[in-house]
Structure 1
Amino acid sequence: MSLSRAKRLLPVISMAEKAEREAALQVGHCNGLVAQGEVQLGTLESYRADYQQQWITEGQRGVSGQWLINYQRFLGQLDTAINQQQTSLDWHRNNLGKAREIWQQRHARLEGLRKLVQRYQDEAQRADDKREQKLLDELSQRLSAHRHD
């Protein structure tokens, strides 16, 4: 009986394995987006630092008012881009966290199902062992009774 219960759960386990694999793929995808966003943010921040260094270098030589206006405008655009990239990165990190939670839930469900199937299989094995032992005991009693006759 327990073995048939275990067999009936096999399609459920198959579906749970598929769901877990899909969740793991989503975690990988989200992780890649976070890594890509971190690289982009680092590039923007590095570019901003380089641009600020240019200000120091040019400022020592003296700059025109137009150069200063252009510098400030471009620096503002860089800051906007950095803020937007940081917002995007935060969004991707949040999605990664949600994807990990979903994967953990699906993984836990799969492990629970596997344990349940194993328990059913163990119960079936114990029942089989018990039936076999009962048959051996009956056979032994018959042989013993046959010898005494």
Structure 2
Amino acid sequence: MASGIAARLAPVVEMAESAEKAAAQRLGHFQGQVNLANSKLGDLENFRAEYQSQWIGRGSQGVSGQWLRSYQYFLNQLETAVSQQRQSLVWHENNLNKARETWQQTYARVEGLRKLVQRYADEARQLEDKREQKLMDELSQRLPRRDSY
């Protein structure tokens, strides 16, 4: 009986394993998105730092009002881009966290189902062992005994 239950649960376990695999792939995808967003943010921050160091070098030589306005305008655009990229990174990190939670839940479900199936398989094996032992005991009792004197 327990062996039949374990066999009937096999498709359920397979479906749960499929869902867990898909969740793991999504988790990997979102981890890649976080890495990419983080890299872009780093690139923007490095570019901003370089641009600001150019200001220091150029500013010490004296600059025109037009150059200063252009510098300020571009620096504002760069700050906006950095801010937007930070928001993008936070958004991707939230997606990653949700994907991690989903994967953890599906993984726990798979593990629970595997343990359940294993328990039913163990019960079936124990029942079969008991049946075999009982049969062996009955057979040994039916055999004529040879008493040696």
Which aligned pairs between 1:93-112 and structure 2 lie closer than 5 A? 93-112=93-112
Superposition RMSD on alpha carbons, in Å?
0.8
2:145 to 127, 136, 147: 147
Structure 1 residue 52: Cα displacement: 0.2
TM-score, scaled to structure 2: 0.96
The amino acid of 2:145's aligned partner reads R
Question: Which residue does the alignment assign to 1:19?
Answer: 19
Question: 1:56-104, CA deviations, whole angstroms, 9 ceiling, x for partnerless residues?
Answer: 0000100000111110110000000000000000000010000000000
Structure 1 segment 65-144 matched on structure 2, within 5 A: 65-143=65-143
Deviations 1:93-131 (A, max 9, x none): 010000000000000000000000000000000000000
Q: Which runs of 5+ in 1 are unaligned?
A: none
Stretches (4+) displaced over 2 A: none
Match of 2:32 in 1: 32
Distance in 2, Cα, partners of 1:5 & 1:124: 9
- Structure 1 CA distance for aligned equivalents of residues 115 and 39 of structure 2: 42
Give the superposition deviation at 1:33. Answer: 0.4
Q: C-alpha separation between the residues in 2 aligned to 1:30 and 1:147?
A: 74
Structure 1 counterpart of 2:37, one-letter code: G
Q: Name the residue aligned to 1:42.
A: 42
* Code of the aligned partner of 1:147: R
> Following the alignment from structure 2 to structure 1, what is the Cα–Cα distance between the partners of residues 17 and 116?
15
Q: Secondary structure at the match of 1:61?
A: coil
| CA distance in structure 1 between the aligned counterparts of 2:12 and 2:97, rounded to whole angstroms | 26
Identity of aligned residues (%): 62
TM-score by length of 1: 0.96
Whole-angstrom distance in 1 between the partners of 2:39 and 2:63: 32
Distance in 2 between the 1:120 and 1:84 partners? 54
Matched residue type, 1:42: G
